[in-house]
Amino acid sequence: MRKTDKSRKGLAAVEFALMLPAVALLFLLLVEGANAMHAYSNLVEASREGARLALMDGETSDIEALVKAVTDELDPQFLSTSVSTDAGQNTVTVEVAYDYQPFGEDALEMLTGQQTLQIVAQTTMPLP
């Protein structure tokens, strides 16, 4: 039969209390990384669709409206789109940039000195 040691009583609660901040920080970083990857995925899709529109129509005027429609989950005031054509190589490049504002803005500012993190996706396609 095992004897219980009275001095070890409550040790699991103390270990849990010590590990809780580290586990909570790890969880918040995981959620923030997932949100940033989701935003990047939206930007990549928008740049591809914009380049595809320029390839199909040959027009670059409607690309910004298409990008805003594809990235409707993102805040449009932090979204910028640039379209450039290279006549020498006969290509079109669509670049979509987004100023991502993380949940912990203060933490990002302490680490990088900036309040936002700019995420950029770019697609280049040949013109016919």
Catalogue the long-range contacts made by 27-30 (C-beta closer than 8 Å, 24 or more residues apart).
28/103, 28/104
Phi (first) and psi of residue 16, to 5 degrees: -65, -45
Could you tell me which of 33, 32, 69, 25 has the C-alpha nearest to residue 50?
A: 69
- Per domain, the residue ranges of the chain are 6-126
Query: Residue 46 has which token pair?
Result: 């928008």
Q: pTM for this one?
A: 0.80
Q: Cβ contacts of residue 60 below 8 Å, gap of 6+?
A: 54, 83, 85, 92
Which pLDDT belongs to residue 2? 62
Per-10-residue mean pLDDT for the chain, 128 residues long?
68 90 91 92 95 84 89 92 90 94 72 81 91
Q: So what's the pLDDT on residue 82? A: 94
